[in-house]
DNA sequence: CTGTTAGCGCTTTCAA
DNA sequence: TTGAAAGCGCTAACAG
């Protein structure tokens, strides 16, 4: 009964375990056949009470517990499907440090609930943080990649999941099957929103490394230029690093650089992601710039803080719940027909208008 | 290759699946022994390239994928531990509708990360919402109950997890092993905080159905009475239902009832949970009652909104990350020694002072 | 009510 | 580099 060394587990950081008591051990000690012992746990009614109690007593004393893997495996006589596990990969940081609101958590939990209803279990992993445990998680029937993925990590994941359908969520087109918000539409809607209110000078804050953000910005610029060729757009890159403190410091510098002494403000700002929006809003508030009095504000995503400001902030958003549910539906399809051809689903976005961008009268329009 | 009906799965809402291609099928078609085919996937280097490619080709064509359960089961020759799965149960609602901040999500993700490092996987369930899928999730090596649990659901869970260690998190003493915040200390700290600032008339808002909240309130009253026997405490029950809209409506009524025409305000309010705190704060703000000018405010937990108000709000909190990590450590112990005796761990709480309770000069103290 | 037999799909071991 | 034999722990099917 000593601990066992299994090199291939050691390598993955799995500690050695003591051997378990098996059903045979129990049966032997209880002087019954393994089958009877098995019945005690699978179908107690069919075992005479005296026998059952004896078996249970022995089992308890020996610390017996059914081995799920063996159990499921044996049931495959009747062709029980084997695994029914889906690997859901997301950077833990994105789950653990929901900077302004728990977007990816919500995607995950909605996915989880929907897929469980279909009879599947989920194992959450983070290839990037811990490739070993990702590998250790074993095979899955499908792999969902949620949010940003590092290139190297993507490689590991794809190799591990070879032969398995892979679905990318809010990650851009890194896999054959993807679900993304309709970023182009989001950007265009923003342009229309400002234009309808006569705003002709808008600062766009975006993170150049995030594909979704770039798409939003690009579509925004294209649409605004089409609507109002003379409109002025200041595209301000605002890096989102993986270190929050650093991100905040960078933002501070960027914002000071852009706004300068706050002399000539743009008509409005359009911030294409919620964390940056929060930073921009704080920056302006701290310096006494009134929103929407002095400057219009349009954010992205839908964290609670947009609603808690003195004047609630308009924003464009898409529902994380919809992402999760759509993902579950899509995974179900891929599970049925693993060879489905590549497909990119765009989720509709919508605008919540809180009048944080005031209409300008023609006379007061900026040059 | 037709779909199969398995009554015991049907009952749990699991759809029938098609039989899978097995390693033997592949081996036969590729004209190699099952062993060689096995090596192609377990240890490719050891198979001659030509053979390997042939096997892979056939496997691809037949849509073969390794059966995890069989694989793990067979490895037990060397006495590999069996399952390594922990059931983590939490009401989906609590995960999906983080009213003001994602407390339980954070507990879960922290637990997950810590327990994965130890080589365990996690399956998330909600007995209450879906007992069937809970049962269907299979056996686990331990069960963690997180947050409120309904009595009946608790029964199902306990029966299902018979023989397995059960750990309750922030749920009160519903299981032999528990981890809870030190609510008594939290309440006492609140009392000391108000007393040190000369506040002698405090309204406590709490949810009578939540054990943690009641503990906080009780400890608060006891301690304040001990410090200042003449202090006046208004205990205001504020129900947290599972329907958010209803909760908000009830809160509105309760608050109107308590504050009336806002004539005689208490010195301070102490709200023992974050969602209620949010509601109380909004109520006061909407009616132009200034915090902390006209009324002091002490909240509980640590959602971001406490920091976003004009004057940040003081609060007592404990770290959800600590709950998750402590839980992982405790589960690890229970896994080693399943027969450990019952144990209740109290997590330290601390106070973040944002001066949202102003010191009263003796002359201005209320009666 | 209980036992016997056979077998789940894969892998270890050992021999060729 | 490959294969044959044996076995993982449990359970379906069928007998008694």
For chain A, the structural domain boundaries read 69-181+319-336, 183-317
pLDDT given for residue A137 in this prediction: 58
Nearest-Cα distance to chain B for A278, in Å, is 10
Between A17, A121, A304, which is nearest B137 by CB?
A121
- B102 to chain A, any CB pair closer than 8 A? The answer is yes
CA of A17 to C1' of C16 (A): 36
Across the interface, do B130 and A137 touch by the CB < 8 Å criterion? no
CB atoms within 10 A of CB B303: 22
pLDDT given for residue A7 in this prediction: 32
Residues A255 and A283: beta-carbon distance below 8 Å? yes
pLDDT surpassing 70 at residue B2:
no
3-state secondary structure of B223: helix
pLDDT given for residue B338 in this prediction: 67
The stretch A141-157 carries a mean pLDDT of 85
Q: How far is the CA of B276 from the CAs of B99, B206, B207, B235, B358, in angstroms?
A: 10, 8, 9, 14, 22
pLDDT given for residue B160 in this prediction: 64
Which range among A25-29, B18-22, B136-140 shows the weakest confidence by mean pLDDT?
Answer: B136-140
pLDDT given for residue A182 in this prediction: 97
pLDDT tens column, B52-108: 888 888 887 877 777 767 777 776 554 445 456 788 899 988 898 777 788 999 999
Query: In a mutagenesis test of the B interface, which of A6, A41, A82 is the best target, namely the one with the most B β-carbons within 10 Å?
Result: A82
Between A68, A96, A112, which is nearest B110 by CB?
A96
Between A60, A72, A109, which is nearest B69 by CB?
A72
d(CA B290, CA B293): 5
Q: Which residue is nearest to nucleotide C6 (CA to C1')?
A: A77
Between B4, B70, B305, which is nearest A304 by CB?
B305
- Taking the model in full, what pTM does it have? 0.76
Q: Which residue is nearest to nucleotide D10 (CA to C1')?
A: A71
Q: Which nucleotides of D are covered by protein (CB under 7 A)?
A: 1-5, 7-13
Q: Which CATH number is B183-317 given?
A: 3.40.50.2300
pLDDT tens column, B157-195: 776 666 678 899 999 888 889 999 999 999 999 999 999
Architecture, CATH, for domain A69-181+319-336 = 3-Layer(aba) Sandwich (3.40)
Respond yes or no on whether the N-terminal peptide bond of residue B163 is cis (omega within 30° of 0). Answer: no
pLDDT tens column, A189-210: 999 999 999 999 999 999 998 8
Residues of A in contact with B139 (CB under 8 A): 65-66, 68
pLDDT surpassing 60 at residue B3:
no
pLDDT given for residue A78 in this prediction: 44
Query: In a mutagenesis test of the B interface, which of A86, A111, A119 is the best target, namely the one with the most B β-carbons within 10 Å?
Result: A119
- B23 to chain A, any CB pair closer than 8 A? The answer is no
Residues B305 and B102: beta-carbon distance below 8 Å? no
Q: What is the 3-state secondary structure (H, E, C) of chain A?
A: CCCCCCHHHHCCCCCCCCCCCCHHHHHHHHCCCHHHHHHHHHCHHHCCHHHHHHHHHHHHHHCCCCCHHHHHHHHHHHCCCCCCEEEEEECHHHHHCCCCCCHHHHHHHHHHHHHHHCCCEEEEECCCCCHHHHHHCCCCCEEEEECCCCHHHHHHHHHHCCCCCEEEECCCCCCCEEEEECHHHHHHHHHHHHHHCCCCEEEEEECCCCHHHHHHHHHHHHHHHHHCCCCEEEEEECCCCCCHHHHHHHHHHHHHHHHCCCCCCCCEEEECCHHHHHHHHHHHHHCCCCCCCCCEEEEECCCCHHHHCCCCCEEEECCHHHHHHHHHHHHHHHHHCCCCCCEEEEECCEEECCCCCCCCCHHHCCC
Closest alpha carbon within chain B to A105: B105
All residues at 6 or more sequence positions from B186 whose CB lies less than 8 Å from its CB, including other chains = B216, B219, B272, B300, B316, B318, B349
- B96 to chain A, any CB pair closer than 8 A? The answer is yes
- A131 to chain B, any CB pair closer than 8 A? The answer is no
Rounded CA Rg of chain A: 28
Asked if the domains B69-181+319-336 and B183-317 are classified in one and the same CATH topology, the answer is yes
Strands (E), B60-193: 85-90, 121-125, 142-146, 166-169, 177-181
B333 confidence band (pLDDT: 50, 70, 90): confident
**Protein footprint of strand D, defined by Cβ closer than 7 Å to any strand atom:** A 19-20, 22-24, 34-35, 38, 41-42, 64, 66-67, 70-71, 73-75, 77-78; B 32-36, 39, 46-48, 50-52, 73-74, 76-77, 79, 82
Which A-chain residues 58-77 have CB contacts (< 8 A) with chain B? 59-60, 63-70, 72-73, 76
Across the interface, do B105 and A122 touch by the CB < 8 Å criterion? no
Residues B316 and B351: beta-carbon distance below 8 Å? yes
Shortest CA to C1' contact from B51: nucleotide: D1
Could you give the percent of chain A with pLDDT greater than 70? Answer: 85
Find, among B192, B181, B101, B82, the residue nearest to B141 by Cα: B82
d(CA A139, CA B39): 16
CB pairs under 8 A between A and B: 166
CA of B25 to C1' of C7 (A): 16
pLDDT tens column, A253-298: 999 999 988 788 999 999 999 999 999 999 999 999 999 999 999 9
User: The tokens of B256 are what?
Assistant: 């109107």
**Beta-sheet strand order (sheet of B142-146):** B121-125, B85-90, B142-146, B166-169, B177-181, B343-347
Across the interface, do A112 and B124 touch by the CB < 8 Å criterion? yes
Which neighbouring-strand residues pair with B269?
Answer: B203, B297
Residues of B in contact with A123 (CB under 8 A): 121-123
Across the interface, do B119 and A130 touch by the CB < 8 Å criterion? no
The stretch B214-227 carries a mean pLDDT of 97
pLDDT surpassing 50 at residue A82:
no
pLDDT given for residue A59 in this prediction: 82
């Amino acid at each position: 009964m000593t601990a066992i060394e299994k090199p291939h587990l050691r390598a993955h950081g799995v500690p050695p375990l003591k051997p378990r008591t098996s059903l045979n051990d129990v049966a032997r000690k209880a002087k019954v056949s393994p089958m009877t012992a098995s019945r005690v746990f699978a179908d107690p009614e069919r075992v005479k009470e005296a026998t059952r109690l004896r078996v249970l007593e022995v089992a308890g004393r020996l610390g017996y517990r059914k081995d799920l893997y063996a159990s499921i495996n044996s049931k495959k006589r009747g062709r029980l499907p084997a695994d029914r596990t889906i690997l859901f990969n997301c950077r833990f940081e994105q789950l653990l440090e929901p900077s302004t609101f728990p977007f990816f958590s919500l995607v995950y939990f909605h996915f989880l609930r929907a897929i469980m209803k279909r009879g599947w279990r989920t194992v959450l992993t983070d290839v990037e943080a811990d490739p070993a445990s990702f590998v250790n998680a074993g095979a899955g029937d499908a792999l969902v990649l949620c949010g940003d993925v590092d290139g190297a990590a993507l490689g590991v994941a794809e190799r591990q999941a070879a032969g398995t359908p892979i679905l990318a969520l809010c990650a851009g087109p890194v896999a054959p099957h993807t679900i993304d918000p309709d970023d182009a539409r989001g950007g265009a809607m923003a342009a229309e929103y400002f234009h309808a209110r006569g705003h002709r000078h808008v600062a766009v804050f975006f993170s150049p490394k995030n594909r979704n953000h770039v798409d939003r910005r690009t579509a925004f610029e294209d649409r605004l230029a089409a609507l109002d060729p003379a409109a002025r757009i200041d595209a301000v890159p605002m890096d989102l690093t993986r270190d929050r403190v650093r991100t905040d410091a960078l933002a501070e510098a960027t914002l000071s650089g852009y706004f300068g002494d706050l002399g000539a403000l743009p008509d409005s700002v359009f911030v294409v992601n919620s964390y940056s929006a929060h930073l921009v809003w704080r920056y302006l508030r701290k310096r006494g710039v009134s929103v929407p009095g002095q400057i219009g504000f349009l954010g992205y995503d839908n964290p609670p803080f947009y609603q808690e400001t003195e004047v609630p902030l308009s924003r464009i958003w898409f529902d994380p719940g919809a992402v999760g549910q759509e993902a579950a539906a899509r995974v179900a399809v891929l599970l049925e027909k693993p060879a489905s051809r590549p497909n990119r689903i765009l989720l509709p976005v919508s605008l919540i208008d809180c009048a944080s961008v005031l209409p300008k009268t023609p006379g007061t329009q900026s040059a």
